[in-house]
């Protein structure tokens, strides 16, 4: 199988946790896990011309991920997020502004790279400010399979912008609370299946992934809902676990693995990452297999 070109667009930043600073940002998390799963991905983002930015560039290169699409902003600092754990291991985020990743600039070379991609992974958070939002909207004309990772962090989203992104998505990934909120804008669907049906029909999205924390996950593929109860682990933090889940799901999809097996693999990797600190823990395929009990 020819290895597909995968591009992840959006924020690259430092998560400032009570235990210290860790590199993060959903697009980078997804790229990192794709790379560990044998599917190299490139990253399109922007960092500041500062110590934090240089640190991130060094880590990206160290992890074997292409930094060719990382712009350096001479005037705006590298992004940081103040992260605090809450009840049930849920994380609370203060996404500090200004941040360089809000200023991702469009250029023809970038558009040319995106045009060659088989998959284009992007999130809603990168559309919170006009410069990156406009760049993203122009790049969404790509023929690539477009993967939208909804990431609702109030007040950093608006329904009109989300609708625009949803109309472009071929694959949608969201958590349960995001599904409940967005589906409520369009109707009174009661069950999870009815909610995914509503969004699939309204926006013509073939695949909708819903992560549900300790309750597992579900995926709606062309109207058929598959569920997984999840794997029970001792949670260190949930930073990046959903991003790992998405990367694992895309890995299975690209390799044409049956949906149920892909969902199981994704649930295992999501649980594994939740059992370790930060969004970029080291692990092997054997570690995932151990979680699955195989």
* pLDDT tens digits along 85-94: 776 656 677 8
Average pLDDT of the chain? 93
The predicted pLDDT at position 90 comes to 67
The tens digit of pLDDT for each residue in 140-150 reads 999 999 999 99
Among residues 38, 27, 5, 13, which one has the least CA distance to residue 265? 38
Contact 243, 269 (CB under 8 A): no
How many other CB atoms are there within 10 angstroms of residue 289's CB atom?
12
Weakest-pLDDT range from 77-81, 103-107, 213-217: 213-217
What percentage of the chain has pLDDT greater than the value 90? 80
For residues 146 and 117, what is the distance between their CA atoms, to the nearest angstrom? 10
The predicted pLDDT at position 89 comes to 58
Both structure tokens of 255: 């390799």
The predicted pLDDT at position 273 comes to 94
CATH of 6-292, one of 3.10.129.10, 3.40.1190.20, 3.40.47.10, 3.90.1560.10: 3.40.1190.20
Check pLDDT > 90 for residue 79. yes
DSSP of 211-235, one letter per residue? E-GGG-EEEEETTEEEEE-------
- What is the reported pTM? 0.94
Rounded to an integer, the average pLDDT of 136-163 is 93
Contact 267, 217 (CB under 8 A): yes
The predicted pLDDT at position 85 comes to 73
The tens digit of pLDDT for each residue in 172-209 reads 999 999 999 999 999 999 999 999 999 999 999 999 99
The predicted pLDDT at position 88 comes to 64
For residues 216 and 202, what is the distance between their CA atoms, to the nearest angstrom? 25
The predicted pLDDT at position 22 comes to 85
Check pLDDT > 80 for residue 2. no
Both structure tokens of 164: 């625009």
The predicted pLDDT at position 210 comes to 97
Q: Where are the alpha helices (DSSP H) in the chain?
A: 26-36, 51-62, 108-115, 130-139, 159-168, 176-184, 192-203, 241-254, 259-274, 285-292
The domain limits of the chain are 6-292
pLDDT category at 12 given cuts 50, 70, 90 is very high
**Going by C-beta distance under 8 Å and a sequence separation of 6 or more, which residues neighbour residue 256?**
none
Q: Which residue has the tokens 């998505």?
A: 169
């Amino acid at each position: 199988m020819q290895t597909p070109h995968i591009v992840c667009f959006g924020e690259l930043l430092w998560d400032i946790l009570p235990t210290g600073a860790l590199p993060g940002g959903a697009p980078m998390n997804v790229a990192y896990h794709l790379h560990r799963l044998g599917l190299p991905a490139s990253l399109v983002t922007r960092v500041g011309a500062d110590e934090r930015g240089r640190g991130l560039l060094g880590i990206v290169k160290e992890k074997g991920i292409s930094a060719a699409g990382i712009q350096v902003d001479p005037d705006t600092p590298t992004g940081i997020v103040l992260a605090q754990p809450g009840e049930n291991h849920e994380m609370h985020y203060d996404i500090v502004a200004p941040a360089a990743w809000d200023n991702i600039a469009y250029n023809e070379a970038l558009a040319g790279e995106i045009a060659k991609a088989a998959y284009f992974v992007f999130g809603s958070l990168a559309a919170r400010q006009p410069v990156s939002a406009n760049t993203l909207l122009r790049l969404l004309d790509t023929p690539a399979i477009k993967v939208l990772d909804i990431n609702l962090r109030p007040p950093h989203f608006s329904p009109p912008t989300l609708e625009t992104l949803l109309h472009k998505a071929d694959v949608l990934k969201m958590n349960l609370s995001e599904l409940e909120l967005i589906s409520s804008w369009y109707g009174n669907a009661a069950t999870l299946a009815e909610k995914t049906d509503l969004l699939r029909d309204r926006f013509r999205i073939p695949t909708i992934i819903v992560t549900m924390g300790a309750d597992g996950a579900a995926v709606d593929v062309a109207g058929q809902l598959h569920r997984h109860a999840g794997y029970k682990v001792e949670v260190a933090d949930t930073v990046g676990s959903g991003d790992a889940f998405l990367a694992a799901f895309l890995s299975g999809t690209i390799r044409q693995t049956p949906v149920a097996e892909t969902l199981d693999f994704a649930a295992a990797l999501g649980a594994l990452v939740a059992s370790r600190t930060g969004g970029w823990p080291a692990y092997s395929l054997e570690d995932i297999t151990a979680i699955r009990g195989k």
